[in-house]
Amino acid sequence: MKKLALLRTEITECTQCDRLVAWCTQVAREKRRAYRDQTYWGKPVPGFGDPNASLIIVGLAPGAHGANRTGRVFTGDRSGDFLYAALHRAKLASQPNSDHANDGLTLRGVFITLACRCAPPDNHPTRDELAACTHFLSREIALFPKASTFLALGKIAYDAVAALSGVRIPDFGHGVYATLPHPTRPKTTAHLFASYHVSQQNTQTGRLTPAMFDQVVTLAARAAGLC
C-alpha cells in the first residue's frame, strides 16, 4: 500500500509532457458549462482499485471532463458509467456508477489503470507521450504480485501491455485472447484479453454492447480467479 501511494504521488506530480500539461491545465481552467462550479483535477491520473487485485484493466487515457475533472480513472463520464455498470454486474464493483472520487466506490480483485496518464487533445496521445508513461504502467503492475490477468480496453492499451512483455501477439480485436510473458515477471505466464474501448464512440453506436463487454469481463475474471 505504501509503495502504491508513493507511486500515485509521483504520477500526479509528473510534468514531463509539455503538450499534455498545457491541455489538462487549459481544460481545467475553461471547464465544460455543466461543471463550471466544480474544481477540476487537471493533472495526471493514477490507477484505482483493489490493492490485492488479480485482474488489471488498462484503458487509454483520462477523459477531458471525466477523470481529468474528478481525479479518478473512468469517473464522471459515460465511459465510466459503461465500465462500472459491467463490473457491478460481474460483482467486481460495489456500485454501478462512479460520479466523483469520494462516492464510496470499491472494486473487488480489480485495479484499473491507463496507458497515458494525462488527458490528450482529441483523445490521441503521441507515441512519445505514451512512451513517457510506460515506466509508470510497468511499475504499477509490478506492485500487484497476484495479478497475471489483463483486460485491455482498446488497441493502444493492448499494445502497451504487449510492449512491456516484449513479444508479438495476435492483432488487436474485440474478444482476442493471448498468453504472453508477464510484463514484470517474465518467468510467469500472463493472460491478456482485449475489448473495444468503452468510449461513447463505441457504446452509443452499438459497436460495443453491454452483452459483448460482459462476455469479455467474465472471461477475464475467470482467468483471474474472481468467479
pLDDT reported for residue 1: 76
Look at phi and psi of residue 105 and say left if phi exceeds 0, alpha if psi is from -120 to 50, else beta.
beta
pLDDT reported for residue 160: 97
**Cβ atoms < 10 Å from Cβ of 116:** 29
Mean pLDDT in runs of 10 for the chain (227 residues)? 94 98 97 96 98 98 98 97 98 96 97 98 96 97 97 98 94 98 94 98 97 98 97
| Residue 176 phi, psi dihedral angles, 5° rounding | -65, 140
Contact 45, 117 (CB under 8 A): yes
pLDDT reported for residue 217: 98
Q: pTM for this one?
A: 0.97
Q: Is 110 helix (H, G, I), strand (E, B) or coil?
A: strand
Which domains, and CATH codes, for the chain?
2-223 (3.40.470.10)
- In angstroms, rounded to a whole number, what is the distance separating the alpha carbons of residues 174 and 159? 13
pLDDT reported for residue 128: 97
Look at phi and psi of residue 74 and say left if phi exceeds 0, alpha if psi is from -120 to 50, else beta.
left
Q: Is 107 helix (H, G, I), strand (E, B) or coil?
A: strand
Look at phi and psi of residue 71 and say left if phi exceeds 0, alpha if psi is from -120 to 50, else beta.
left
pLDDT reported for residue 96: 97
Cell numbers 464510496: residue: 104
Residue 218 grid cell: 467474465
The dihedral of CA 26, 134, 167, 113: what is its sign?
A: negative
pLDDT reported for residue 183: 95
Contact 50, 110 (CB under 8 A): yes
- In angstroms, rounded to a whole number, what is the distance separating the alpha carbons of residues 120 and 143? 26
